[in-house]
Structure 1
Amino acid sequence: MSDALRALRDQPFALLAQLDQQMRAARFEAGEEQFWTGLAFRLGDDAFVIPRSEAGEVLTLPAMTRVPGAADWLLGVANVRGDLLTVCDLRRLAGYPSTPPARDTRVIVFNQPQAAMGFVVDAVYGHRQFVPADQKHALADASEPPLRDWLLGAFVREGVSWRVLSLHRLAAAELLTQVAA
């Protein structure tokens, strides 16, 4: 143990902070790259990722009860293990043409305790990792509204463009307050 670390023996938080700093420096010197991880999914022919922290779980399309007089993008509410989940069609919200559910259709549950919301997507691919060199923000800037307002950026990896969608931005969108048809 170095003298600097011994001096922090009676200060556990400062000791942990110093150890963390030394570990990060050693990782950087070893050439490890930092990764950004997101949950990958598809809408139509377009690939997207959402930050890993925003995805609670992924479900198959549950049985739903339609809400009378609701907008067409609000598919209904579902009982998921005793909790009500509001289910929204992300295709319709983002301006994609509506399609019937397919075998790969999934619901990504937004990891937010205040409002139980799920967003229907065409397929989920699991987690993807990206390095800083993969960032291509111009792809997000070129997207059409309302989708552009919900994007955090974009990545290109192995020839595939992945736009980064924020469910936090989507949930805060004025569009979601206009539930009545």
Structure 2
Amino acid sequence: MAEQQAAFQALVELAHLSRRTAKGLPAQVDIKPHWSGIGFSLLGRHFVAPMGEVSEMLEVPSYTRLPGVQPWVKGVANVRGRLLPLLDMGMFFGQRLTGHRKRQRVLILETENLYSGLIVDQVFGMQHFPMDTYKPAASDEDEQLVPLVTGSYELSGSEWSVFSLANLAEDARFVNAAQGN
């Protein structure tokens, strides 16, 4: 019994010693919630599309021009056996893409009724923004962009406008790309 008592006392002393010499837990850092999207540039501005609205990103593939379509419809490309209409987003807004041709990329918009490739100046990949930097409206929006921009985030002093591809997919001008309409 004395041996058991001695062993128990040794464990109690070890526990006290451990508590006295233990270092405190690391300071708890407040983790800020973030919103993530696909960053891209268009017409010299930074945009970000919600993650669920971009199904894929590609280099601009070779394509075949189509007759009787709006000038912003570049043509159609075969991407893994599917015909992908390619749309120049700079021309859609009445301007020219400002990025170098080698940096231009295609964002694939795929909904139940629509499969389109949007050519933009450059794609930056996934971007993460602290949610507390969100503003419901981006500053100095171009009139054509107002229905497509749902707000903005700030990151490292730059404003990133949230570009809704879902709103674009519902835009009558975008959906009806035939010439003369």
Structure 1 length-normalised TM:
0.77
The number of aligned residues is 152
Q: Structure 1: how far apart are the matches of 2:64 and 2:88?
A: 14
Shift in Å at residue 79 of structure 1? 0.5
> Separation in 1 of the partners of 2:159 and 2:127?
12
Q: What amino acid is aligned across from residue 167 of structure 1 in structure 2?
A: L
Cα distance, 1:67 vs structure 2 = 1.2
1:70 corresponds in structure 2 to 69
Asked whether the equivalents of residues 53 and 111 of structure 1 are also in contact (C-alpha less than 8 Å), the reply is no
Map 1:132-143 to 2 at 5 A.
132-139=131-138, 142-143=140-141
Identity of aligned residues (%): 31
* Larger relative helix fraction: 1
Tell me the CA shift for residue 152 of structure 1.
1.1
> Is residue 43–residue 98 contact of structure 2 (8 Å, CA) maintained in 1?
no
Once residues 170 and 60 of structure 1 are traced to their aligned partners in structure 2, the CA distance between those partners, rounded to angstroms, is 21
Which structure has the larger Rg over C-alpha atoms?
2
2: CA distance, partners of 1:100 / 1:32? 36
The aligned residue for residue 143 of structure 2 is 145
**Which segments of 5 or more consecutive residues in structure 1 lack a partner in the other structure?**
1-28
Distance (Å, rounded) in 2 between the aligned partners of 1:100 and 1:163: 18
The alignment's TM-score, normalised by the length of structure 2, stands at 0.77
Determine the structure 2 residue equivalent to 1:10: none
Q: 1:102/1:171 Cα in 2 relative to 1: closer, same or farther (>3 Å)?
A: same
Aligned residue number for residue 12 of structure 2 = none
- Aligned equivalent of 1:156: 154
